Amino acid sequence: MGTLKLPVDRLNYECLKIEVALNYSYTDVKIVTVPTSSEEKLPRLELDESTLDDSTAIARYVGGENIFGEEGSVHSAEIYEWIFTSDGVLNPNITTWVSPYLGLVMYNKQIENEAVKQVDGVMMKLNKHLLHQTFLTADHVTMADITVAAALYPAYKVVMDAKYRKKYGNVTRWYMTVTNQCQFAKQLPVAHTDESAYCQTAPKFNKKEFDQMKEKLQAARNSAAVEEKAASGDQKPAAAGKEKPAAVAAGKEGAPPKSEAKKKKEEAKKKVKLEKMEKLAAKKKMQEKKDADTKKKPKVEKVKKVVEVAIYTKNTPAGDKKDITDPLPAGYSPQYTEAAWYEWWSKQGFFTPEFGKTKEEVEKSKKFVMCLPPPNVTGSLHLGHALTNTVQDVLARWHRMMGEATLWIPGTDHAGIATQVVVEKKLRKQENLSRHDIGREKFVEKVWEWKKEKGDRICSQLRKLGSSLDWDREFFTMDDKLSHAVKKSFIQLRKEGIIFRANRLINWSVALNSAISDIEVNKKELDGRTMLPVPGYDKPVEFGVIHSFHYELCDGSGKVTVATTRIETMLGDTGVAVHPQDKRFTHLHGKFVRHPFCERKIAIVCDDMVEMDFGTGCVKITPAHDANDYDVGKRHNLEFISIFDENGLVCNTQTQFDGMKRFDARTAVLDQLKQLNLYDECKDNKMVVPLCSRTKDIVEPMVKVQWFLTCDDVAKQSKDVVKSGELEIVPQAFQKTWYHWMDNIRDWCISRQLWWGHRIPAYFVTVDDPSVPAGERTDEKYWVCGMDAEEAMLEAVENFKVDRSKITLEQDEDVLDTWYSSGLLPFSIFGWPNESSDLSNYFPGALLETGHDILFFWIARMVFFSLLLTKKLPFKTVYLHAMVRDAHGRKMSKSLGNVIDPLDVISGITLEDLHKTLYLGNLEAKEIEKAKLGQTADYPNGIPECGSDALRFALFAYTCQGRDINLDVNRILGYRHFCNKLWNAFKFSTKQLAFGSEYKPQQQFQLSGKETEVDLWILHKLTKAVELSHAALENYQFPDYTTAVYNFWLYEFCDIYLECIKPLFTADSGDNDVTTTSKHVLYHCLDVAIRLTQPLMPFICEELWQRLPRRPNDVTPSVCVSKWPYTNNERAWTNDAVDAEMELVRNVVKTTRSLRADYNLTRTKADLYIKCSDDVTAEVLTRHRLTIKTLSYSSQVLIHDKPPQGCAVAIVNNKCDVNLMLKGIVNFEKEIEKMETNIKRQEKKLADLKKAVNKSEYKQKVPKEVQVADEEKMKQLGEELVKMAATKQDFASML
């Protein structure tokens, strides 16, 4: 175990790099904090065999490949490139930029400009790089992210204000994501949950502030040095493992004699040391006495106040309105707030498009229709579903408030493959049976039982999230209505020739024993030899290599060398291809090679697909097991030999390999080729391995008879509608992906060899009549379709012209791909193909919102089917949100333990109970233990109760138009605190409304002319918040909406407006006109702000809004069906002039608070004198004196040309400075003593430096750059002494 030595002050670039890297690893190191006085180079990692003092080298050692990438890989090189940029450019220039504002280095405009220029160059590069990237080099945090974020940290805190950050929005999004990872956040003193933790206004250099900061820093350093010396007894320990030379140790022989001067010097040192030790002993004695006196006093135990969580205890029947007769609890409680409301909303029909509208009004209304992407019935919702749900619900609630007929339809998907796999695992685990043991009928019954069990939980989760879904229209993709649509569409499309049956090359999953579509195949890229686990094999299988072997020519004239990554497929080779123009092989044209394991002759064919300069120039052809070879086989009429059966066993080769598992045969074939001296070599080879997205099995291309859907024509239509703008895809970056996929589409294999799903309504016909020859299952004409067997029989009779008694029908055993039925949802949920009012009113829909991962699985299928079956688009807009990952940037995976149930975030859960959830699924014991470790690392104390509103707000705030979201539960908890702020603000506000006499709202809010400046300002800010929110929702810029809401409530309404109106509501103020006017403004703000926030946080908004008094004639039953505050009246209060004035006031307040903090005036009020250089500024601040007095916690505010003596001064801007009266508050005698001590210390420093400079050898021995630095340092020390003397004089004048 190594020892990591770090300085006392660890919040610096190098230490931040190392400690964050350490948090991402499991490296065991001992951390030791070393005193500032140490002469060791820090940070420093001491190992048994070596010592590291380079921060990147230390981070590499503790972080490992997890964050640095595999040594020597391209990925690792990219990471180091960013580290070098950060070390060499970003960190030094940011240090130069921020140092003057921290009191570290004197300001130099030219130097700062150059530093900013260098930083801007890197920021532009970062911003461009992060346009479509979540992290710098991978899909998770690497050392590149850690290093660059560590370099940017001081800049974001000190100099990069909101205006600067806006220029580099992608960088800010990335920076917030990285620094909010728990591994990074724990090293920072303040959490960066939002931009309020960053620099708000770009600093301007102030010499006085610089001097004050410098003095404080020096005093802190001196104090730390004194404490270190006291703690160590001024003794420096000898370095471990090193002994003093014998001659030095005790004056042994061989030591040089000491001169008299040296002896005197040593005696003087001893005397000083002795005096220090005596002082230290005396101090220690006094402390012991003090401790003894303290012990004599009886110890008063502090009782920690336990705050009880409020719970709603009224006996309200489900669906009845919540009882709100009791006052609001003391603090916000999600359990209390979220109780009873949802059942009432649902029962009242607020979520139906017909609420509050007649049939005619519904037909004429603007419609907003969405279909919930149906979650798989296989299990519970996770946070990814919660994101989809939140985005859709916010949009649905917003459109509903806009007066549109809003319909959001819930449902679940039968998920053919996923459900069958899960239920099979459960059957095996609980009863040790396979589906074949119990038969198809019983197995399907088991699946329906599973659906009833899990489907209810999913609905419960959706309700708990506050989803405003129309439950009366809920669907399940295996419902009779949807099954009817599936059958009807299949029959119609087959009649049109769009669906057909053919013997083609398809993707076969051995583990599933079923065909799968192209988009269900994941392509895993390998750089070279890699061992991969394969289902059904005890040991990993080798991939990423290419084997060369040779075939011997049948005429004995030579050999032909070929290469392959799948050596076992040579058992099915029926051809060898060469390029027709390759002169090396013209002598082979028309010849044959002999297969070494059977009597098969293999033709050598000429084909342009061969790349002459790749490999040997000769390509083995296995037509039945490779897409390219399939095409070659068709062109040259080669034999198609399927050498694997459905279980992945070798067959049809007539060799000793028949019956072997395919990857066991791989090894056996290699061995045999070597024995026959036909094997040449093996090399590493970059390749792509096809994996089944469901089972991680290696997909096997196989020729099988399946049902297909022709895609060419409809894909072209689908591309054209996006190009023309008829169908909008947001973000636009995905349009390019859409075009590429449509251009390269292949026919869709729609049949699956499963038991669970929509059974294909096709029947094979057997005719018992000599006039009709027996049919093959590959022959299209021997298949008929029908809604049932009777309808199919009628078609068979019609086709074959025989009596029905001679016909036998056998329904296809296969089912349709799950995405087939899902693709019909936009119209099948409304009863298509039957006409209905729902179909005419709500189809086509308005929006499809979902994750970008199912752009082609589902969205493209819906567009296809709508165009084919209804000749309409299914919706007008597709919005693709980012993917949710965990706080570390990892994909959600049950085996990692990071798949979180939204209910566990809403209600909270202990770590122990979190572990228990792992046993509810089908994880293996080994996977459960791995998942437990992951949960323990991420949630050592479990997950705190956050509530639905906080979860929704966090998810929506995260949703930038980018790729991925790294969701940190701690950030969600931060929004729970925001809910508490709203709660307390509402309680305070309603108390003020009740002040004096009972408050009655106006019919409509209007200005009376008696409003104060702060009243007009808050109305302006409210209007801006409404406009920003509306624009954000219109343009799918969701974080702009959450920011507008958050900033208004927290920084404008709570921090300023409520503080400013407090003095109006006091016992001696009376219920005068100003108070009444402020009540109207306060009520208007509450009413509008709650309605503005409702789509985001429906539960707390309903709880608060129901307790507001109503305007006359307002009978709106719920805030969720109230009007969106975007009317002309609610946007009529912009006032830029007042806003500009209040901005000045806020700067005055901010500067004053900073000055108060410098003198530690936390509870003490002081007089504030504001000096203005022009009449306009003085007039503005005079009108706002009460606001300034209230917000700056001043006893009085006076506008003076010449403030009195005894004030501390700070500059606000070039026209204004603030003067805080300290006389009588601050002990100036004590301050003068401190200043005298500092002056003496500074004088000694200057004297020592001058003495060193004046030595005769200084000019010759000291480097020029050091001499220049010393000269500058002497100049600075001199200037500081002058400043300190002036400050001392100022203090003296205040006595």
pLDDT, tens digit, for every residue of 990-1015? 998 887 677 889 999 988 888 899 99
pLDDT value at position 484? 97
Tell me the range of 17-31, 195-209, 333-347 where mean pLDDT is highest. Answer: 333-347
| DSSP label of 518 | G
Confidence bin at 252 (pLDDT 50/70/90): very low
Is residue 625 very low, low, confident or very high in pLDDT (cuts 50, 70, 90)? very high
DSSP 649: B
- Which burial class, exposed, middle or buried, applies to 1176 when counting CB atoms under 10 A from its CB (0-12, 13-18, 19+)? exposed
Q: Which two tokens stand for residue 693?
A: 């997205």
Which of 126-130, 267-271, 375-379, 1010-1014 reaches the highest mean pLDDT? 1010-1014
Contact of 1031 with 1126, CB cutoff 8 Å: no
On the question of pLDDT at 193 being above 60, the answer is no
Contact at 8 Å (CB) between 938 and 966? no
pLDDT 10s digits, 134-170: 788 877 889 999 999 999 999 999 999 988 888 888 8
What pLDDT score does 577 carry? 96
Q: Which residues pair with 649 in a beta bridge?
A: 661
Through-space distance between the first and last CA atoms of the chain, rounded to whole angstroms:
59
Collapsing DSSP states into helix, strand and coil, what is residue 484? helix
Determine the pLDDT at residue 234. 42
Of 35-39, 588-592, 991-995, 1199-1203, the least confident: 35-39
Report pLDDT for 26. 65
**What is the per-residue pLDDT for 285?**
53
pLDDT at 283 over 90: no
> Which is more confidently placed, 994 or 594?
594
Lowest mean pLDDT across 113-122, 175-184, 288-297, 1096-1105: 288-297
- How high is the pLDDT of residue 398? 97
**What is the tens place of the pLDDT at every residue in 733-752?**
889 989 999 998 989 999 99
Burial classification of residue 774, based on how many CB atoms lie within 10 Å of its CB (0-12 exposed, 13-18 middle, 19 or more buried): exposed
The alpha-helical segments, DSSP class H, found in 188-259 are 207-232, 246-250
SS (H, E, C) 747-802: CEECEECCCCCCECCEEEEEECCCCCCCCCCCCHHHEEECCCHHHHHHHHHHHHCC
Q: State how far the Cα of 1033 lies from the Cα of 1092, in Å rounded to an integer.
A: 12
Instruction: Bin 206: left if φ > 0, else alpha if -120 < ψ < 50, else beta.
Output: beta
* Between 269 and 871, residue with greater pLDDT: 871
Give DSSP secondary structure letters for 904-956.
HHHH-B-HHHHHHHGGGS---HHHHHHHHHHHHHH-TT-B----HHHHHHHHH
pLDDT of 190 above 80:
no
Q: What are the angstrom distances between the C-alpha of 744 and each of 737, 739, 885, 948, 1290? A: 11, 9, 30, 43, 80
pTM of this prediction? Answer: 0.72
Determine the distance from the C-alpha atom of residue 644 to the mean position of all C-alpha atoms in its chain, rounded to a whole number.
43
Sign for the CA dihedral angle at 77, 82, 88, 91 comes to negative
pLDDT band at 119 (very low <50, low <70, confident <90, very high): very high
pLDDT of residue 178: 87
pLDDT at residue number 299: 46
Instruction: Tell which wins on pLDDT, 1132 or 421.
Output: 421
For residue 304, pLDDT over 80 is answered with no
Q: What local confidence, expressed as pLDDT, does residue 931 receive?
A: 81
Q: What is the pLDDT of residue 392?
A: 94
pLDDT at 1267 over 90: no
Does residue 595 carry a pLDDT above 90?
Answer: yes
Q: Which residue has the higher pLDDT, 263 or 670?
A: 670
Higher-confidence residue of 1162 and 44: namely 44
Please report which confidence band the pLDDT of residue 783 belongs to, taking 50, 70 and 90 as the band edges.
very high
pLDDT tens string 468-499: 999 999 999 999 999 999 999 999 999 999 99
Q: Could you report the per-residue pLDDT of 920-978, keeping only the tens digit for each? A: 766 777 778 888 887 888 888 888 999 999 999 988 887 764 556 677 777 788 899 99
Higher local confidence (pLDDT), 1126 or 1087: 1087
Q: What is the mean pLDDT of the chain?
A: 85
* Span 793-832, pLDDT tens digits: 999 999 999 999 999 999 999 999 999 999 999 999 999 9
pLDDT (mean) for 643-653: 94
DSSP string, 384-439: HHHHHHHHHHHHHHHHHHTT-EEEEE-EEB--HHHHHHHHHHHHHHHH---HHHHH
Quickly state the pLDDT bin for 245 (edges 50, 70, 90).
very low
Query: In the prediction, which pLDDT does 1093 show?
Result: 97
pLDDT value of position 30: 84
In the chain, the percentage of residues whose pLDDT exceeds 90 is: 49
Least confident of 289-298, 708-717, 1097-1106: 289-298
> How many alpha carbons fall within 13 Å on the CB side of residue 931?
24
The tens digit of pLDDT for each residue in 859-902 reads 999 999 999 999 999 999 999 887 777 666 666 665 566 778 88
Q: Residue 1067 has what pLDDT?
A: 54
Contact 1077, 1010 (CB under 8 A): yes
The pLDDT assigned to 958 comes to 77
Q: According to the 3-state scheme, what is the secondary structure of 845-875? A: CCEEEEEHHHHHHHHHHHHHHHHHHCCCCCC
So what's the pLDDT on residue 747?
92
What pLDDT was estimated at residue 240? 34
3-state class (DSSP) for residue 140: coil
Which pLDDT does position 254 carry in this prediction? 40
Length of the chain: 1295
